[in-house]
A = this chain, B = another copy of it.
């Protein structure tokens, strides 16, 4: 294939390839977005700008859960279900911690072995590079590329640690939290705030002996969730149970998501949320771009100022003012 040999494509080639749904070109474009090279970034920016009118049509789903809950197995089974009903599905992953753990999430693509071979599916691990802000902004743009490439459903997977849930919530339409039965201990691993931001909770591994416990947990979680239910979306949080082993409940999960989309598109919340998310992304990008610009411009200048602060020659604020003056000049 010519496209594999010749990695440097023109913007036209990239644009046409993506719009034609060519996943080799899509993968190359995502690599451009994740690149730290200024030249790559510039190309990526123009590319995103060009494909923008073709974006926004997919259903964006965030999925999180503590390690051990069976996230990738669940996503594989959900993904297979979706491709069986002729949906094109992309799975992306945000994992700010993977720099340390060398790819704890999706790092081994074999984890979604079957799905990755499915011609209707596209699986892409995150750019595990540096700040969460950077990862977030590039994932946001990867969503746009996947939409332009014609994917119907985009799943953003994240590990149940720290800040990443909030940012995934901020770029998806529907947020799904996976939990294990035998709540008590498990609940402590997941912060309350994450439960509150979930549109639905799915209790996984509900097969064999476990079905009983899963149903118990379902009732318990339903009680816990409904305390914090009234939202702008008018959606009432659901608790579902599923098994990746028996496929039980997988169609329920998708039906629930579809009901949510119909409800929120009907009452206007869907678009409001998307708009809000785009503005958030705008401000995150401002922060990232300006920080980058300061770092690029004035590495030694910053060090000088830090030394003057330590020597009490400058107050932190006055030093910050000098950075602004230099950045603006």
Contacts and interface: CB of A to CB of B under 8 A. Distances in A.
A10 interface: no
Nearest to A306: B279
A290 B48 contact: no
A282 B320 contact: yes
A49 interface: yes
Residue picked from A140, A278, A281, A282, most chain B C-beta under 10 Å: A282
Interface residues of A, number: 44
A285 interface: yes
A55 B314 CA distance: 12
B285 A320 contact: yes
A207 interface: no
Give the interface centre of A290, A309, A323 by most chain B CB atoms within 10 Å.
Answer: A290
A20 B8 CA distance: 68
A98 to B, nearest CB: 21
A289 interface: yes
A309 B282 contact: yes
Given A48-B318, A289-B321, 19 more contacts: A49-B314, A49-B318, A52-B312, A52-B315, A53-B312, A140-B316, A278-B309, A278-B316, A279-B306, A279-B309, A279-B316, A282-B305, A283-B320, A285-B320, A285-B321, A290-B290, A290-B327, A327-B327, A327-B328
17 contacts: A48-B315, A48-B317, A56-B312, A141-B315, A141-B317, A275-B310, A278-B309, A278-B316, A281-B316, A282-B305, A282-B306, A282-B309, A282-B319, A287-B287, A289-B323, A290-B290, A328-B328
